Amino acid sequence: MKRASPFLITFIFSSVTCFIVAQESEEEPPPVPPDQLLLRDYRPKSIFQTASTVVEKAKFPVIDMHSHAYAKDELMLEQWVRSMKEVGVEKSIIMVGTAGAGFDQARELYSKYPDQFELWVGIDFDGFNKPGWTEHIVAELERCQKLGARGVGEINDKGRGLRGQREPNNFPTLHADDPRMDPIFEKCAELGLPVSLHIAEPFWMYEPMDKTNDGLMNAHKWQIPEEPGVLRHAELIATFDRAVERHPETIFIVGHMANCSHDLSILARLLDKHPNLYADTGARFAELAPVPRRNREFFTKYQDRILYGTDLGFEKHMYRTTFRLFETEDEHFYPHFMSNYHWAWHGMGLSDQVLRKIYRENALKLRNGLNR
């Protein structure tokens, strides 16, 4: 048997030592003096001895109305299905965000689990200002609907105009109330395809990034700069309002609680005005959690119009934390999966009636309404 050379032994020893040191340094970072601590590194731990409820499984069956094609292969897809079964998610709506080959590829993968996943198709805004663009989009919607698409989304406008998931932020395009969108929204009504729109961003992203900004510590990199041609929060809500008003036969879902968690009276006015409008909770749990009593009143009043959606991957602890927010009255806790937020969470303690509706019944009602 050959002996390993001294060089090889030294190399292996050094590599293992470096690995151990690296592991230790990751687990035990040196403390940072308070006056040198960066906002992005602030990770508070609650000192309050309050209830800590573990919600292993949702109280009632759940349809997740806002998810994306996170699984890129069969193994990830199997993991996702297992997670859903363990936590009580019956079905996930996958917003592919793209049409054409992107939708076809997602369909090939996700069709292996037709009971667990439903695909929605996006819109490609490239070439929107060229002749024939609208007709091309309408034809693509018809094609994808025949292949199993059951909705349109997610398309978003954070200020620079509508875009799908792959268009860059500096890609100039149109807004929801642009007349070129009218035939598309009308076709969605004809085909029975609800439209999911991401309008604006949380209000603090449009505010000055200074010491007065309540969301400054929540990843200031997401700020929306005040630049020529970039609509502000109220302007974006207005474009959406006009679009929904012009298409009363089209079912619209405004994602992320219309990014009005700071002032839900804005969303309330939209819901009161448009019976064809729903709102989903996707990725706005941290914005809802700081003010649980106000939100419980809102969710109770609009219990027939709110849809459960995550938009945050498919880890079990993510689902369980959202259930904890809605089902319990736990106070002042910090979820691990959203550690970059500095707001503490407080459970909303929604009633069983409200939970049943936002978890599942409203999603079924929406689907049945489209099949009338």
Query: Domain residue spans in the chain?
Result: 57-370
Beta bridge partners of 157: 199
pTM, two decimal places: 0.88
- Tell me the CATH number for domain 57-370: 3.20.20.140
Is 336 a residue whose pLDDT tops 70? Answer: yes
Give the pLDDT confidence score for residue 60 in this predicted structure: 98
The better pLDDT of the pair 134, 337 is held by: 134
174-220 pLDDT, tens digit per residue, is 999 999 999 999 999 999 999 999 999 999 999 998 889 898 888 77
The secondary structure of residue 89, as a DSSP letter, is E
Phi, psi of 155 (to 5 degrees): -110, 145
Give the pLDDT confidence score for residue 169 in this predicted structure: 61
Give the pLDDT confidence score for residue 22 in this predicted structure: 43
- The reply to whether omega before 74 is within 30° of 0 (cis) is no
Instruction: State the average pLDDT over residues 41-47.
Output: 79
Closest CA to 152 of 180, 183, 123: 123
Give the pLDDT confidence score for residue 370 in this predicted structure: 61
What distances in angstroms separate CA 59 from CA 224, 246, 360, one per listed residue?
38, 38, 11
How far is it, in rounded angstroms, from Cα 85 to Cα 113? Answer: 13
Residues recorded for the chain: 372
Give the pLDDT confidence score for residue 225 in this predicted structure: 86
**3-class DSSP assignment, residue 133:** helix
Are 307 and 258 a contacting pair, CB within 8 Å? no
**Is beta strand 89-95 parallel, antiparallel or unpaired with respect to 195-199?**
unpaired
Is 288 a residue whose pLDDT tops 60? Answer: yes
Closest CA to 162 of 187, 195, 127, 198: 198
Beta bridge partners of 198: 156
Closest CA to 215 of 313, 131, 132, 284: 284
Tokens of 252: 């619209």
| Cα angle 82-83-87, degrees, rounded to a multiple of 5 | 120
Are 125 and 180 a contacting pair, CB within 8 Å? no
Give the pLDDT confidence score for residue 167 in this predicted structure: 56
Burial label for 319, CB within 10 Å (0-12, 13-18, 19+), is: buried
Q: Does the CA dihedral 208-212-215-219 come out positive or negative? A: positive
Give the pLDDT confidence score for residue 11 in this predicted structure: 41
How far is it, in rounded angstroms, from Cα 161 to Cα 230? Answer: 8
Element (H, E) at 356: helix 352-356
Give the number of other CB atoms < 10 A from CB of residue 46.
13
What distances in angstroms separate CA 126 from CA 129, 132, 134, 174, 199, one per listed residue?
8, 12, 11, 11, 19
Are 222 and 201 a contacting pair, CB within 8 Å? yes
Q: Given the structure tokens 């800590």, which residue do they identify?
A: 52
Is 128 a residue whose pLDDT tops 80? Answer: yes
Look up residue 154 and give its amino acid.
Answer: E
Phi, psi of 154 (to 5 degrees): -90, 130
Instruction: State the average pLDDT over residues 86-98.
Output: 95
Is 368 a residue whose pLDDT tops 80? Answer: no
How far is it, in rounded angstroms, from Cα 284 to Cα 251? Answer: 21
Closest CA to 272 of 307, 239, 302: 302
- The reply to whether omega before 154 is within 30° of 0 (cis) is yes
Is 10 a residue whose pLDDT tops 60? Answer: no
Instruction: State the average pLDDT over residues 58-72.
Output: 97
Give the number of other CB atoms < 10 A from CB of residue 291.
16
Beta bridge partners of 197: 155, 254
The better pLDDT of the pair 128, 85 is held by: 85
Give the pLDDT confidence score for residue 163 in this predicted structure: 80
How far is it, in rounded angstroms, from Cα 340 to Cα 336? Answer: 9
Give the number of other CB atoms < 10 A from CB of residue 39.
12
